[in-house]
C-alpha cells in the first residue's frame, strides 16, 4: 500500500506544513486541556532527585536476566520529564523550566536511549554506534515533541539546550536511520513484528518535526514507506492481530499513528484510511473487547489494557467513520479512570498523553453505546462470540506466531465481563522469555496451562508446522481440528473440538482418535476462581458449574502469581487454578463439557 502510493504520487509535491498541535505559547489552547491536576503532579518533581542509570543496573539483564533494574530509573526519568512538561503547559510561568532542563540534559547525556533488554547480546551500549530500538525511538519522539512545544521558552531560558537536542536527534536517529538497512525491525532480511510500525511511527514524527532539508525528509519517508510495507503486506486480510489486543496498541495502533501523522502534516493529502485491509486492522479491538478494561488475550497480551490509547481509538473512529471505535474509546476511558489514576501510568508515549488531554472532553461527551457482535477472522483464525451475558473467544492458528504461546484450539470464557475460564497471559518479561530454547519452560507459554488437552503425556509443540488443520464456523458453533499440534509422540491421529456458546453457557465437545489402543488424556481448564469438586461436577467460585464426562479423575493444581506484577495486575488474585480432568482411553474418545451459572 505504501510503496504503491509512491509509484502513483510525487512526494515532492506534498507540503508538510500541517500542525501536530499548538506550541506551549498558545495559552488559550493548552489552558483548555490542562490544569490543576497536571500542575499538582509536576510540583512533586520540583527539586527532583534524578535517578542515576548505573552500569550495574544495565548489566543486571545480561548477567541475571533482570530487566527491571535498569528500566526502573530509566522510566522514572521520563515520567518526571513528562509531568514537568505537562505542568509547564498548564501554567507556562517558567516555574518548572529549570527542573525540566535538568531532565533534558540528563537524557541527552545518556549513552543509549534504549533498554538493556534490547541490546542484542552486548553488555553495555556502544556509544559510537547509536542503535535504534523501541524506546530509543520513543525517547526520540518524546524529545522532538518536547522541543517543538517548548521552543520559545527554551530559547529564552537556555538556547544551548535546543542546539544539544538537535544534535542528539540527528546523531541518534536521523543519520543512523538513513544509513542503515541491517536492523531486524526494518524487514530487509526477515519478517517483522510490531517493532516495525512502533519504531517507524516514532521516527516519522522526529523527521516531520526536525528535518528541514526537503530532500532528506523525502528520502526518509520513502524509506519508511518501503519498510512499513514489510509489515503491512504479510498482515492477514481480515485485519487480525495474532499478538493479541494488548499488543494492538503498538501494532495496528501504531500503523494508525503513522498514517495519521501523514494525514495531519500533509493537510489530508496523504490519506490511507480508505484502504479496506487497513480499516479491518484498525477495527480489531472492536471484536476482541469484553467489557471494562478487559479484552480477549492471546499470546503475550494482557487481559487488561490500561494504557492511554482511548485517543487512538477515538480519532481512528473519526478517520474511518466507525462509531463503534468512538464508543469503545469512551467506554475504555471511563473504565481506565475507575481502575487506575492517571498518575500511576508510565508516560513515555508523550504524544498519546497530549492527544488524550486534547480529545478528553470530546471522548467524555460521546454518548453512543458500544455493541459488540459475533465475529470470525478466518485468516488469523480467531473467533469472538457474545450471547446475552456470556463472552467466549477461541483461536486456531499455529505455534510460531508473534509472541507465541502453544495454544492452538485454546479458548476463554467470561460472564458479565468477569473471567471464568482464562488464558493466563504472560508474566513479567525476563531474559528467558525471548530465548526459544528456554521460553517454553515458562509455564504460561505451555499448552497444559491453557484450556487444552494433554495427550499421552504430550503437550503442544513449538513450530510453524504445528498448526490447526481446519478452523470453521458452522452457524453459531466453531469447529477446530488440531491433531497436528502435538507431534508424532502423542500417538494422536485426529483431534476435533466443537465450541458453542448457548443462552445458558458454554459447551465444548472434544473427540480424539489415537494410533494405539491404550491412551491417557487430560483435559486442562484454567480459572482464577476457587474450584471445588462436587458430585455434580466442579464448582468454580461458588457460582459456575463445570460438568465433565463420567469415569474421570480430577486433579487441582494451584499456581501462585502474586509475586509476578504483570499477572497479578491482570487477574487481581494470588493464584490461578488448573483443573486436570483425566481419562483412560482406547483408540477413540468423545466427551462433552458444559459450564453454566449455578
Other Cβ atoms within 10 Å of 554 Cβ, number: 16
The pLDDT value recorded for residue 431 is: 83
Decide if pLDDT at 585 tops 60.
yes
The Cα–Cα gap between 595 and 544 comes to 7
User: Which residue in 384, 380, 386, 402 sits closest to 394, CA to CA?
Assistant: 384
- Give the three cell numbers for residue 123: 553488555
Query: What digits encode the pLDDT tens for the residues 131-145?
Result: 999 999 999 999 999
| Position 54 in a domain | yes
- For the ranges 13-27, 185-199, 361-375, the lowest mean pLDDT is seen at 361-375
| Position 544 in a domain | yes
Domain end call among 180, 199, 218: 180
User: Which residue in 209, 232, 229, 211 sits closest to 220, CA to CA?
Assistant: 211
Q: Name every residue whose Cβ is closer than 8 Å to that of residue 82 and which is 6 or more positions away in sequence.
A: 142, 347, 348, 350, 353
| Position 282 in a domain | no
Confidence of residue 575 (pLDDT cuts 50, 70, 90): very high
User: Which residue in 243, 246, 240, 115 sits closest to 569, CA to CA?
Assistant: 246
Q: Across-strand partners of 581?
A: 523, 554
- φ/ψ of residue 582, rounded to 5: -105, 150
Q: Is 346 exposed, middle or buried (0-12, 13-18, 19+ CB in 10 A)?
A: middle
Confidence of residue 308 (pLDDT cuts 50, 70, 90): low
| Position 445 in a domain | yes
Q: Are 384 and 536 in contact (CB under 8 A)?
A: no
Q: Are 248 and 241 in contact (CB under 8 A)?
A: yes
Other Cβ atoms within 10 Å of 495 Cβ, number: 25
The pLDDT value recorded for residue 65 is: 86
The pLDDT value recorded for residue 137 is: 97
| Position 319 in a domain | no
- For the ranges 85-94, 432-441, 531-540, the lowest mean pLDDT is seen at 432-441
Domain containing residue 449: CATH number:
2.70.98.70
| Position 202 in a domain | no
Q: What percent of the chain has pLDDT over 70?
A: 98
Counted domains in the chain: 2
The Cα–Cα gap between 194 and 253 comes to 10
Domain that holds residue 53: 34-180
Decide if pLDDT at 155 tops 80.
yes
The Cα–Cα gap between 19 and 535 comes to 67
Query: What digits encode the pLDDT tens for the residues 168-186?
Result: 999 999 999 999 999 999 9
| Position 260 in a domain | no
Phi-psi group of 490: left, alpha or beta (phi > 0 → left; psi -120 to 50 → alpha; rest → beta): alpha
Average pLDDT estimate for 371-391: 87
User: Which residue in 27, 22, 23 sits closest to 91, CA to CA?
Assistant: 27
The pLDDT value recorded for residue 242 is: 82
Query: What digits encode the pLDDT tens for the residues 235-249?
Result: 999 999 888 888 888
In the 8-state DSSP scheme, what is residue 407? -
| Position 513 in a domain | yes
In the 8-state DSSP scheme, what is residue 136? H
The pLDDT value recorded for residue 183 is: 95
The pLDDT value recorded for residue 222 is: 98
DSSP sequence for 120-167? TT-SS--TTS----HHHHHHHHHHHHHHHHHHHHHHHH-HHHHHHHHH
- Give the three cell numbers for residue 14: 506534498
Average pLDDT estimate for 269-297: 93
- For the ranges 212-221, 405-414, 432-441, the lowest mean pLDDT is seen at 432-441
Average pLDDT estimate for 415-444: 92
Domain end call among 180, 195, 218: 180
Half-sphere exposure (CA, 13 Å, Cβ side) for 21? 23
User: Which residue in 284, 282, 338 sits closest to 306, CA to CA?
Assistant: 338
Confidence of residue 374 (pLDDT cuts 50, 70, 90): confident
The pLDDT value recorded for residue 341 is: 57
Q: Are 426 and 448 in contact (CB under 8 A)?
A: no
The pLDDT value recorded for residue 335 is: 86
The Cα–Cα gap between 20 and 200 comes to 17
The Cα–Cα gap between 325 and 312 comes to 9
Average pLDDT estimate for 140-165: 97
β-strand pairing of 519-527 with 453-455: antiparallel
The Cα–Cα gap between 342 and 336 comes to 9
The helix/strand/coil state of 88 is helix
Between 567 and 503, name the one with better pLDDT: 567
Q: Name every residue whose Cβ is closer than 8 Å to that of residue 246 and which is 6 or more positions away in sequence.
A: 295, 297, 300, 301, 302, 303, 305
Domain end call among 180, 195, 230: 180
Q: Name every residue whose Cβ is closer than 8 Å to that of residue 558 and which is 6 or more positions away in sequence.
A: 575, 576, 577
Query: What digits encode the pLDDT tens for the residues 484-500?
Result: 999 999 999 999 999 99
Decide if pLDDT at 343 tops 50.
no
Query: What digits encode the pLDDT tens for the residues 108-132?
Result: 999 999 999 998 778 898 888 899 9
Q: Grid cell 510453524 — which residue? A: 464
Confidence of residue 531 (pLDDT cuts 50, 70, 90): very high
The helix/strand/coil state of 39 is helix
Sign, CA dihedral 52-53-55-57, equals positive
The pLDDT value recorded for residue 29 is: 96
Length of the chain equals 598
Average pLDDT estimate for 206-220: 98
The pLDDT value recorded for residue 367 is: 83
Question: Dihedral angle at the C-alpha atoms of 586, 590, 595, 596, nearest 10 degrees?
Answer: -130
Measured distance between the N- and C-terminal CA atoms of the chain, rounded to whole angstroms: 52
The Cα–Cα gap between 104 and 182 comes to 30
Confidence of residue 450 (pLDDT cuts 50, 70, 90): very high
Amino acid at each position: 500500500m505504501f510503496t504503491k502510493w509512491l509509484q502513483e504520487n510525487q512526494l515532492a509535491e506534498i507540503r508538510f506544513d500541517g500542525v501536530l498541535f499548538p506550541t506551549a505559547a498558545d495559552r488559550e489552547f493548552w489552558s483548555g486541556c490542562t490544569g490543576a491536576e497536571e500542575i499538582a503532579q509536576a510540583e512533586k518533581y520540583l527539586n527532583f532527585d534524578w535517578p542515576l542509570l548505573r552500569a550495574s543496573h544495565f548489566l543486571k539483564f545480561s548477567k541475571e536476566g533482570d530487566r527491571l533494574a535498569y528500566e526502573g530509573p530509566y522510566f522514572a526519568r521520563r515520567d518526571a520529564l513528562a509531568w514537568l512538561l505537562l505542568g509547564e503547559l498548564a501554567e507556562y510561568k517558567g516555574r518548572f523550566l529549570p527542573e525540566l532542563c535538568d531532565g533534558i540534559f540528563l537524557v541527552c547525556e545518556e549513552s543509549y536511549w534504549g533498554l538493556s533488554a534490547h541490546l542484542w547480546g552486548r553488555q553495555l551500549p556502544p556509544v559510537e554506534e547509536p542503535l535504534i530500538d523501541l524506546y530509543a525511538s520513543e525517547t526520540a519522539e518524546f524529545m522532538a515533541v518536547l522541543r517543538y512545544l517548548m521552543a520559545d521558552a527554551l530559547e529564552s531560558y537556555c538556547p544551548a539546550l535546543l542546539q544539544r537536542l538537535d544534535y542528539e536527534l540527528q546523531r541518534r536517529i536521523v543519520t543512523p536511520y538513513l544509513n542503515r538497512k541491517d536492523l531486524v525491525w526494518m524487514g530487509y532480511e526477515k519478517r517483522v513484528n510490531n517493532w516495525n510500525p512502533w519504531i517507524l511511527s516514532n521516527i516519522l514524527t522526529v523527521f516531520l518535526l526536525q528535518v528541514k532539508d526537503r530532500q532528506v525528509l523525502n528520502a526518509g519517508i520513502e524509506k519508511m514507506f518501503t519498510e512499513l510495507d514489510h509489515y503491512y503486506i504479510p498482515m492477514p486480510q481480515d485485519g487480525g492481530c495474532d499478538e493479541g489486543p494488548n499488543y494492538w496498541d503498538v501494532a495496528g495502533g501504531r500503523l494508525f499513528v503513522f498514517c495519521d501523522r501523514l494525514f495531519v502534516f500533509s493537510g489530508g493529502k496523504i490519506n490511507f484510511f480508505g484502504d479496506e485491509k487497513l480499516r479491518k486492522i484498525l477495527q480489531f479491538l472492536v471484536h476482541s473487547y469484553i467489557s471494562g478494561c478487559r479484552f480477549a488475550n492471546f499470546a503475550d497480551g494482557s487481559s487488561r489494557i490500561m494504557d492511554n490509547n482511548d485517543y487512538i481509538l477515538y480519532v481512528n473512529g473519526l478517520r474511518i467513520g466507525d462509531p463503534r471505535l468512538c464508543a469503545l474509546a469512551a467506554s475504555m476511558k471511563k473504565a481506565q479512570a475507575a481502575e487506575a489514576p492517571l498518575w500511576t501510568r508510565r508516560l513515555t508515549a508523550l504524544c498519546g498523553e497530549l492527544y488524550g488531554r486534547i480529545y478528553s472532553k470530546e471522548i467524555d461527551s460521546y454518548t453512543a453505546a458500544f455493541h459488540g457482535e459475533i465475529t470470525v477472522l478466518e485468516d488469523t483464525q480467531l473467533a469472538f462470540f457474545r450471547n446475552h451475558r456470556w463472552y467466549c473467544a477461541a483461536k486456531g492458528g499455529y505455534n510460531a506466531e508473534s509472541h507465541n504461546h502453544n495454544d492452538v484450539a485454546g479458548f476463554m470464557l467470561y460472564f458479565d465481563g468477569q473471567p471464568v475460564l482464562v488464558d493466563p497471559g504472560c508474566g513479567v518479561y525476563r531474559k528467558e522469555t525471548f530465548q526459544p530454547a528456554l521460553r517454553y519452560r515458562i509455564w504460561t507459554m505451555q499448552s497444559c496451562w491453557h484450556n487444552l488437552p494433554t495427550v499421552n503425556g504430550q503437550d503442544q509443540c513449538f513450530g510453524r508446522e504445528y498448526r490447526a488443520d481446519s478452523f470453521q464456523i458452522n452457524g453459531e458453533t466453531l469447529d477446530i481440528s488440531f491433531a497436528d499440534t502435538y507431534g508424532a509422540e502423542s500417538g494422536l491421529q485426529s483431534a476435533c473440538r466443537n465450541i458453542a456458546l448457548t443462552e445458558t453457557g458454554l459447551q465444548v465437545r472434544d473427540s480424539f482418535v489415537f494410533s494405539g489402543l491404550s491412551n491417557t488424556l487430560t483435559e486442562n481448564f484454567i480459572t482464577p476462581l476457587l474450584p471445588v469438586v462436587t458430585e455434580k461436577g466442579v464448582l468454580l467460585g461458588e457460582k459456575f458449574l463445570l460438568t465433565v464426562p463420567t469415569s474421570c479423575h480430577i486433579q487441582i493444581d494451584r499456581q501462585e502469581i502474586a509475586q509476578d506484577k504483570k499477572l497479578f495486575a491482570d487477574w487481581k488474585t494470588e493464584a490461578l487454578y488448573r483443573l486436570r480432568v483425566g481419562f483412560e482411553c482406547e483408540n477413540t474418545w468423545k466427551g462433552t463439557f458444559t459450564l453454566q451459572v449455578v
